Structure 1
Amino acid sequence: MKYNKIKRGTFLSRPNRFLADVIIDDIPQRVHVKNTGRCKELLVEGAAVYLEDHEADLRNRKNRYSLVAVEKIDHSAESEIRLVNIDSLAPNKVVAEALQSGDLILPGLEEGLLKIKPESTFGDSRLDFYIEGITGEKAFIEVKGATLEEAGVARFPDAPTDRGVKHVLELCRAAEQGFFAYIMFVVQMKNVLYFEPNDVTHAAFGEALRYADKKGVQVLAFDCSVTQNSMHLGQPVPVRL
């Protein structure tokens, strides 16, 4: 997944969850934030950020720039810079690419995929992917992007998500009806030790995830290779529930 045109800037503030004030080429700009999560540990004053430039499509947009990535000081690695993608649309895109290319092989579907359908309804929810295996398997996948990292541990969510709990429980119902069911946490950075639910922020989500695991929903996590203008699905990350 690549962005067409990227500019570097300096983060100033975030007046609301949709907008941020950033300095680009020494000029203050108000930009769109492509993530409605809190991102408080990432979007701090003075942080270097990367923005998608929509100059070619200004007629259809209020803001020329969209904030898609941020440099985070990695205190667990002797103050190295950790580049984190915060574009909430990116996880689904990289999973779709990996499914289509065959780079992502799901447990139980090792023979390959016959059909990949994004945004499919099951019950009262719209899940991210419906897929069918070559040998007749049917499955649903729900994808969640994880941008919160502390001391090398990735966590989700960074804000309470009743919608996320609903999706997890819908996957449980799918598993009960004979579907393969997967929830996949796409960690939008490299070099994490493991993934775990963020029980401090939303205990109900952690409880739902552990319940789903017992009901046969497969809980997966992958890191990502992130550059200033791209993100690609990386390697599996251990999950601790």
Structure 2
Amino acid sequence: MQFFPPLQPATLIKRYKRFLADVVTADGRELTLHCANTGAMTGCATPGDTVWYSTSDNPKRKYAHSWELSETQDGHWICVNTLRANQLVREAIEQQRIPELSGYSKLGAEVRYGTENSRIDLLLQAENRPECYIEVKSVTLLQQGCGYFPDAVTLRGQKHLRELQSMAEQGKRTILFFAVLHSGIESVAPAHHIDPRYAELLTQVQENGVEVMCYGAELSAEGMQLTERLPLVIPGR
């Protein structure tokens, strides 16, 4: 994924109302950016960090600028725009850069499924193969050298795990895909200290046929792409 034009830098003043952030550009202008990330963004929104933003030419947008990346004062790059995770995974699949997900002829997105009124992020299909349901999650929380998911209690995420298990029990291939969008994260673990129920469900669904994949990414103001598979760490295993 390339950014055209390349992202522009600014310094973060503050994030507020979940969807907004104030920044100051290199030439001293203050801008308000739209923030597509509604999560806690722990460690991703520290005042003084460098923010990299894109600009839309859509005249109907109230806020023309969007917060895409953070460059922390420790030198880490983080993609804070959660919409990018699905795009990166889809691009990598289409370019055959994820060997575990090659060989499918059709790729759908946001397809309704399950019994709890859900939409699957990506659906892969091919003749003579079970359908493959992929739920994508963005991992950006770095603590004590490990990446954790989720960064806040997520009832929606718990629902997605239940839906994946249900499809696995029907003979479908199901995958929880962690897109690791923080350059400092080298492994992923369920955040039992934040959402113990999610962590319990993750272990449960793995035991019932749901695959879990973690992939890191290269991040820069010019573009992003998924790179290599990272380990999943389950305490006690």
If the TM-score is normalised by the length of the shorter chain, which range does it land in? over 0.9
Instruction: Report the TM-score, using the length of structure 2 for normalisation.
Output: 0.92
Match of 2:216 in 1: 223
Residues 90, 231 of structure 1: 8 Å contact kept: no
1:163-222 deviations in whole A, cap 9, x for unaligned?
111011100000000000000000003353310011111111111111111111001100
Residues 157, 198 of structure 2: 8 Å contact kept: yes
Task: Give the SS at the match of 1:17.
Answer: coil
State the percentage of identical aligned residues. 29
Task: Choose 89-98 or 186-195, whichever is displaced more.
Answer: 186-195
Structure 1: give runs of 5+ residues left out of the alignment. Answer: 75-80
Task: Give the SS at the match of 2:38.
Answer: coil
Q: Does 1:214 align with 2:207?
A: yes
Match of 1:240 in 2: 233
Q: What stretches of structure 1 move > 3 A for 4+ residues in a row?
A: none
Match of 1:170 in 2: 163
Match of 2:113 in 1: 122
Higher strand share: 1
Match of 1:179 in 2: 172
Q: Does 1:20 align with 2:7?
A: no
Instruction: Report the TM-score, using the length of structure 1 for normalisation.
Output: 0.91
RMSD: 1.4
Residues 142, 184 of structure 2: 8 Å contact kept: no
Match of 2:37 in 1: 35
Q: 1:86 aligns with which of 57, 80, 95?
A: 80
Structure 2: give runs of 5+ residues left out of the alignment. Answer: none
Residues 33, 66 of structure 1: 8 Å contact kept: yes
Q: How many residues get paired?
A: 230
CA drift of 1:84 comes to 0.9
Task: Choose 40-49 or 129-138, whichever is displaced more.
Answer: 129-138
Match of 1:149 in 2: 142
CA drift of 1:69 comes to 0.5
Residues 192, 198 of structure 2: 8 Å contact kept: yes
